[in-house]
Chains A and B, each alone.
Chain A
Amino acid sequence: EDQVTQSPEALRLQEGESSSLNCSYTVSGLRGLFWYRQDPGKGPEFLFTLYSAGEEKEKERLKATLTKKESFLHITAPKPEDSATYLCAVPTKGGSNYKLTFGKGTLLTVNP
């Protein structure tokens, strides 16, 4: 069964304290891995797509990496405004079409 697992469920950091979030997946034939950010009361906002092992994408203090089994979202010198829930998702086959399956997310809190 296709699965997406994120860890930790919650992470609390001090401002400037770098760390990583993990997204592991079991999917036959990966067709991409997506990272989203979700602020309270809002819809998820697209961050990155990674398509192949070894690929990396960066945006400000965030860098996403991909291996054959998992993806990491590295947060360098975070600021309080980086506080949000971070979601990863992979396309999974549903019948003849692909659908996006999400992990449960990591709630990141960055304290000033």
Chain B
Amino acid sequence: NAGVTQTPKFQVLKTGQSMTLQCAQDMNHEYMSWYRQDPGMGLRLIHYSVGAGITDQGEVPNGYNVSRSTTEDFPLRLLSAAPSQTSVYFCASSRQALYGYTFGSGTRLTVV
């Protein structure tokens, strides 16, 4: 039982490059979300999804896109990376929004 799997674990991008952070869960959870964690700022919600085909914006959605074509996968796309997007990104899943979340191990992204 893998839980929530995030890839890659580390990534360095140049300003303006695009990339996709992958997130997959094998628990048949309907609810998935993406957070970024920065020193002094805590965990901030980027985008979330309540089921396949349904996504919504969180607190800091600008510069990020998501889609949810399957229950298992919820990729996060950076369209044109900026240094302000340097952060640690966490994906989380849950049976529903009011249940405990399972987090992935994170992706540490540096934009230079």
Interface residues of B (CB under 8 A from A): 4, 33, 35, 40-45, 48, 50, 56-59, 90, 92, 97-106
- Tell me, yes or no, whether A44 is within 8 Å of chain B by CB: yes
List 8 additional contacts besides A34-B101, A101-B59; criterion CB under 8 Å: A43-B104, A43-B105, A43-B106, A46-B101, A97-B97, A99-B33, A99-B58, A103-B42
- Please tell me if the beta carbons of B45 and A32 are within 8 angstroms of each other in the complex: no
How many residues of chain A have a CB within 8 Å of chain B?
Answer: 25
- Please tell me if the beta carbons of A46 and B102 are within 8 angstroms of each other in the complex: yes
Return chain A residues, CB-CB under 8 Å to B4: 43
- Please tell me if the beta carbons of B58 and A94 are within 8 angstroms of each other in the complex: yes
Interchain CA distance A104-B99 in the complex, whole Å: 20
- Tell me, yes or no, whether A83 is within 8 Å of chain B by CB: no
Q: List 28 A-B contacts (CB under 8 A).
A: A31-B98, A34-B100, A36-B103, A41-B106, A42-B106, A43-B90, A43-B106, A44-B43, A44-B90, A44-B92, A44-B101, A45-B103, A46-B101, A46-B102, A49-B100, A94-B56, A94-B57, A97-B48, A98-B97, A99-B56, A100-B33, A100-B45, A100-B101, A101-B45, A101-B59, A102-B42, A104-B40, A104-B41
Return chain B residues, CB-CB under 8 Å to A98: 97-98
Interchain CA distance A38-B103 in the complex, whole Å: 10
Return chain A residues, CB-CB under 8 Å to B57: 94
Interchain CA distance A25-B102 in the complex, whole Å: 22
